């Protein structure tokens, strides 16, 4: 049996005192692709935030990439985050510097030294998303889909065991959304990363067959 990348058991997903999902159970195997759906306000982002420790796990059990969510502290949270690739709707690129410098900044923030290895890794991740020729481009010269690809490249830098995508296609047209979704699955397969892809756009889950987990009325279940 492969070890689970995510293992929540009776985990309470909450925003402060407000409980969104009282008992969430979720297991994601290494390399598995999972759609997370549910209408707006159902708690998808709150669940994801609990996984990357932006919200504390106050009740129940949970591990992510081998880290016990109940035993996180200031030292352990960066270690957990380094094993995750997190991508959002609004790209979060630094607009005042080039694509390459965005990636260099992310590498340095996660403990890499300047040099050959770092440059090689940048070339690898840009090649993976098909944008190796844009390393010197400024973000404002990229389309929305291209910016999202750069955000994926950045998410891959540290060989994450889990890619977390929170509404990453929210700003994109339907065709680009599907391309981005296919790319995400391909990157997960090539890099051995599990993917948790959250969206309130139910049509997207027809893009390809994968497990669908739904968040509704304070519950989390397989569809």
Angstrom distance (rounded) from CA 78 to CA 168: 23
Tell me how far apart the terminal alpha carbons of the chain are, to the nearest angstrom: 23
Which lies closer to Mg ion via its Cβ, residue 47 or residue 135?
A: 47
Query: Applying CB under 6 A, does 7 fall inside the site for ligand ATP?
Result: no
**39 or 79: whose CB is closer to ligand ATP?**
39
Q: Are the beta carbons of 189 and 157 closer than 8 angstroms?
A: no
3-state helix, strand, coil in the chain (%, to 5): 40, 25, 35
Answer for the pair 87, 156: CB distance below 8 angstroms, yes or no: no
Q: What values do phi and psi take at 30, rounded to 5?
A: -55, 130
Region of 14-22, 107-115, 138-146, 176-184 interacting with ligand ATP (CB under 6 A): 14-22
- Pick 44 or 191: Cβ nearer Mg ion: 44
Q: How many residues does the chain have?
A: 223
Piece of 23-31, 37-45, 71-79, 176-184 that binds ligand ATP (CB under 6 A): 37-45
Between 17 and 175, name the residue whose CB sits nearer to ligand ATP: 17
Residue window 136-175: x/- pattern of binding to ligand ATP, with contact defined by CB under 6 A: -------------------------------x--------
| Shortest distance (Å) from residue 98 CB to ligand ATP | 30
Closest CA to 140 of 97, 177, 110, 199: 97
DSSP classification of residue 193 = -
Part in contact with ligand ATP (CB under 6 A); list of ranges 40-48, 106-114, 134-142, 178-186: 40-48
Contact between 20 and ligand ATP per CB under 6 A: yes
Q: How far is the CB of 175 from Mg ion (least distance, A)?
A: 23
In angstroms, the CA 196 to CA 164 distance is 5
Report the nearest approach of ligand ATP to the CB of residue 41 (Å): 4
Contact between 18 and ligand ATP per CB under 6 A: yes
The radius of gyration of the chain's CA atoms, rounded to the nearest angstrom, is: 17
Strands (E), the chain: 4-15, 18-29, 33-37, 61-64, 67-68, 84-88, 162-166, 194-199, 211-216, 219-222
**Which of 25, 34, 45, 154 forms a contact with ligand ATP (CB under 6 A)?**
45
Could you say which residues in the range 171-210 bind ligand ATP, by CB under 6 A? 200
- Distance between CA atoms of residues 191 and 214, nearest Å: 26
Contacts to ligand ATP by CB under 6 A: 15, 18, 20, 38, 40-46, 167, 200
């Amino acid at each position: 049996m492969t070890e689970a990348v995510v293992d929540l058991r009776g985990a309470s997903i909450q925003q402060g005192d407000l409980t969104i999902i009282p008992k969430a159970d979720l297991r994601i195997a290494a390399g598995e692709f999972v759609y997370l759906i549910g209408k707006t306000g159902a708690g998808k982002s709150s669940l994801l935030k609990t996984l990357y420790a932006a919200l504390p796990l106050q009740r129940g059990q949970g591990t992510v990439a081998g880290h016990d969510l109940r035993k996180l502290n200031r030292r352990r949270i960066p270690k957990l985050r380094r094993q995750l690739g997190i991508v959002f709707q609004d790209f979060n690129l630094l607009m005042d510097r080039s694509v390459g410098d965005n990636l260099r900044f992310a590498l340095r923030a996660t403990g890499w030294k300047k040099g050959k290895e770092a440059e090689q890794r940048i070339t690898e991740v840009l090649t993976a998303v098909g944008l190796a020729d844009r390393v010197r481009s400024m973000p404002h010269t990229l389309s929305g889909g291209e910016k999202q690809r750069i955000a994926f490249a950045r998410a891959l830098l540290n060989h994450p065991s889990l890619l977390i995508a929170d509404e990453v296609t929210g700003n994109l047209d339907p065709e680009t959304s599907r391309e981005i979704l296919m790319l995400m699955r391909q990157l997960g397969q090539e890099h051995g990363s599990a993917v948790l892809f959250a969206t309130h756009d139910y049509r997207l889950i027809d893009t390809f067959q994968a497990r669908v987990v739904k968040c509704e009325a304070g519950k989390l279940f397989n569809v």
